[in-house]
Each structure stands twice: as C-alpha cells, then as structure tokens.
Amino acid sequence: DLPLMRDYECPPFMRVSTDDHQRALIGLDAEVVGKKMLESPKDSLTTYEVVSREDMDGNDVSRLTLTSISGRTHQLNVHCAAIGHPIVGDTVYGFEGEAAANGGLDESALPEDKASAELQQAIASASAGKPMCVHAKSISFRHPVTKEDLSFESTSSF
C-alpha cells in the first residue's frame, strides 16, 4: 500500500509519495510546474503472488501475478521498484532507468530482502534489448460510452 504521486524531479514519471516529497511541493507555482504536479498523492494498492522461481541467464528471477487494486498510472512498475524487485526489462523504473530509482524511495526505505544492485544489473544486462516481461492476463472495465462491463483474458507469450 504505497501512495503514488507525479515525480517533480523526473517528470513525467510517477513515484511513491512520502512526507518529504509532499513538503518539497510547498510553495511551487502551478503555472510553472503544472497543476497535475501539485495533485494530492493517490492511494494505490498492489497485491502479488509468487507463481514460480526461474533462472534467467544464471540469475534468479520470480514470475509473479500482480493485481492492481487501484489502477494508477505505472503503479505495478513503481511498486515493484519500491520493494527492490523491478520488473524484468523495465527501462523506466528498473535498474538505472529513466525514472527515480527505487520508485522514488531512499535506499534506506527499501526492504532488507531487496535484490542487490549486482543482481539487478545482471538481470538488466540479460534482458537488454528485449521487451519488458509484463503481460495483462486479464482486464475488466466499463466501456466509457456504452457503459457495458467488458472483460478480456489472454495467455502470456513468455
């Protein structure tokens, strides 16, 4: 359960919101940084289940089922990075990605069982040039025009 906010240091990306991050926004002008940047953090909850443990070029990786309870932008990516286990192949929130490291959290805020920098680097190297290992197994939503409830399912190609 990690609330998300827009990343004022690495726009247009997202980050986990902390009290320090919220204090950094005090006094900023919406005309300069944009209204969206000053929005309050949004609750976001992700659940996960370990499906299997696998090997990727000699490195231990885990296949997960991730469920976004709240459906925020980049939520799964930020939450995985914030617990020290970024999604394999994520060039934005993963190892040395474009966004703030660790979902915007300080290294000291990460759990003790986080993947080491060496392991994250090895996995990033092994997955370089390959698509991110994420797949929507199922998705459901209400159609914005017809208001019909729609559900789709698809098997993963990896």
What six digits make up the tokens of 15? 């980050």
Q: Mind listing the pLDDT tens digit for each residue in 117-132? A: 999 999 999 999 999 9
Residue 123 near residue 114, CB atoms below 8 Å: no
What is the 3-state secondary structure of 7-23?
Answer: CCCCCCCEEECCHHHHH
pTM of the model as a whole: 0.86
pLDDT digits (tens, 9 = 90+) for 33-49: 777 777 888 999 999 99
Residue 60 pLDDT:
93
- Structure-token pair, residue 20: 């320090």
